[in-house]
Structure 1
Amino acid sequence: MSFSILKRLPLFSPPFVNVMASSSFYCGVQSKRFLVLAQQLRHYKPPPCSWDDNEERIIEEAAGKFVSQVGFQESVTRVAQNPEKFRSKRAAVLICLFEGDAGDLRVILTKRSSRLSTHSGEVSLPGGKADEGDNDDGDTATREAKEEIGLDPSLVNIITVLEPFLSKHLLRVVPVIGVLNDRKAFKPTPNPAEVDAVFDAPLEMFIKDENRSAEEREWMGEKYLLHFFNYEIENKRYLIWGLTAGILIRAASVVYQRPPAFLEQSPKFKFPGLVDK
């Protein structure tokens, strides 16, 4: 029973590249379930949408770039823009997975502090903006997770990264998938300035049509769906939506290798030229 979920996780097929792999990495994965999962996910290759500044500038000048809005991956939406007007800041969030008591894959989530000026009280993944000292997106995600909820980076094995998402505030957010290699060693210590609560939810929930609702929204004449997931744990109710829901839908689709059981309806609108306004 403890390995039932792996039967629903088919191996990835080529072409994929080895994103992160080493013998020491696999030694750190204590559960056989996560060993198999790590071996699968390390071959995941996100759609090409990230370049260094020079390459990015050339591509943006030559043609519209694929980015997204309000919590959709960059590869979804074509953007026609002036590259001088749009230089988004980078951030990373940690999709930290562990094996639950029922043998399911679960992801660690937070409820943002009600005292924050933006997105107060909303559910989010641990993470934040990149610092100059960060070597990569994995460093950003784990550093922020430690600051927010006291998660020691040494307890997390980074497996892969997904394609970036773009928030409604024009922040490029890179989802980083990691495995919690010692669940008992993690004792959440929320930073009260940033986090009100730490909880976990089943990852598979985000590709099921249960406890989900959607609202049709319109922006610049184009319609898209905004997804909401209602979740209750330990007599507390949480609403997971927007950017966080979009990232988790994508993560669950990659992990379980099947599309969600509902229509996503991604936006197809073009980005305005003067995005600084």
Structure 2
Amino acid sequence: MDSYGSQRLVALAQQLRFYKPPSPSPDEIEEQNIEESAGKVVSQVGFQESATSIFKDPERFRPKRAAVLVCIFEGDAGEFRVILTKRSSRLSSHSGEVSLPGGKADERDKDDFETATREAKEEIGLDPSLVDVVTVLEPFLSKHLLRVIPVIGILSNKKAFKPTPNPAEVEAIFDAPLEMFIKDENRRVEESEWMGEKYLIHFFDYETENKKYLIWGLTAGVLIKAATVVFQRPPAFMEQNPRFKFPEGANKDMVMR
């Protein structure tokens, strides 16, 4: 690894291995202890540190765990880029949407790293041995109340990756500059509300090889967070990430609108 690009990726990997999620305040620690004793788990609805009720009764709501791979490599111009997919239009959920490689955890997975890299291999043919997994970000919560763990990995040898999309799951594989997710360009927002709390949903328009993609929702939220951590600066726009608490009557069929 004697090239400039490789050295940048080595430095990034070293930086990210030291990453630790922000420490909660004393009030948040006390609240979390109360929630855990009541059978709850701290999670996110596309944001950090929201609280989601978990019920002891397996017939009621219990978030399932998933992991996505934020796979970073260096582009020809020396910029950090991230691998993305467009989901198959035949899928029953999130069909045709842009997403990060990943999926639900398998009981045989030893950790979130294995879940993310296993799913990436199944979806886009990315050999796990090519990816240096370096850290995880705080959990996110999908609108279907699925707990998603972002795993950051470094792809040093991009040429060794031969994209092979699984047609049952993936319609297209592409990549985008990671820094775009903290820039206030080609971005728009929509305001939404959940349990009386207003928040912003971010949409990024991106075009490559004469194809247009819309990156939004949880995927955009994960990439905003990843870019903030990688470049060590906040986004050039307001995120408006409120805390969410789910109602006592939440169930497995509940969907966040």
Cα-to-partner distance string for 1:32-85 (whole Å, 9 max, x where unaligned): 111111111100012479xxxxxx99742359754322x223x2x244x36425
Which contiguous aligned blocks of 4+ residues in structure 1 show a shift greater than 3 angstroms? 56-59, 62-66
Distance in structure 2 (CA, Å) of the matches to 1:268 and 1:139: 29
User: Equivalent residue for 2:191?
Assistant: 216
1:130 & 1:65 partners in 2: Cα distance? 17
Written as runs of structure 1 = structure 2, the 5 A alignment for 1:239-254 is 239-254=214-229
Match of 1:183 in 2: 158
Aligned-partner Cα distance in 1 for 2:242–2:41 = 14
Distance 1:78 1:171, change over 3 A: closer
CA distance, structure 2, for counterparts of residue 152 and residue 112 of structure 1: 20
Once residues 205 and 93 of structure 2 are traced to their aligned partners in structure 1, the CA distance between those partners, rounded to angstroms, is: 21
Moved more, 138-147 or 56-65: 56-65
Residue 67 of structure 1, aligned match among 6, 22, 43 = 43
Output one character per residue of 1:175-198: Cα deviation in whole Å (capped at 9) or x when no partner: 000011211111100000000000
Unmatched tracts of structure 1, length 5 or more: 4-29, 50-55
Q: Deviations over 1:88-107 (max 9, x none)?
A: 11100000000001110000
TM norm structure 2: 0.87
Spell out, residue by residue over 1:13-33, the C-alpha distance to the aligned partner (whole angstroms, 9 max, x if none).
xxxxxxxxxxxxxxxxx8111
Cα separation, 2, equivalents of 1:87 and 1:139: 22
Cα distance change on mapping 1:232 and 1:83 into 2, 3 Å: same
2:113 to 138, 153, 162: 138
Amino acid at match of 2:188: S
Tell me how many residue pairs correspond in the alignment. Answer: 240
Q: What's the TM-score once normalised by structure 1's chain length?
A: 0.81
> Does the CA contact (< 8 Å) of 1:82 and 1:273 recur in 2?
no
The reply to whether residue 257 of structure 1 matches residue 223 of structure 2 is no
Structure 2 unpaired stretches of 5+: 25-31
Q: CA–CA distance in 1 between the matches of 2:248 and 2:180?
A: 37
Structure 1 residues 137 and 82, CA gap change in structure 2 (3 angstroms): closer
Sequence identity (%): 72
Go from structure 1 to structure 2 and tell me whether the alpha carbon gap of 1:48 and 1:64 turns closer, same or farther (over 3 Å shift): farther
Partner of residue 71 from structure 2, selected from 84, 88, 96:
96
Summarize the alignment of residues 97-116 of structure 1 with structure 2, pairs less than 5 Å apart: 97-116=72-91
* Partner SS for 2:236: coil
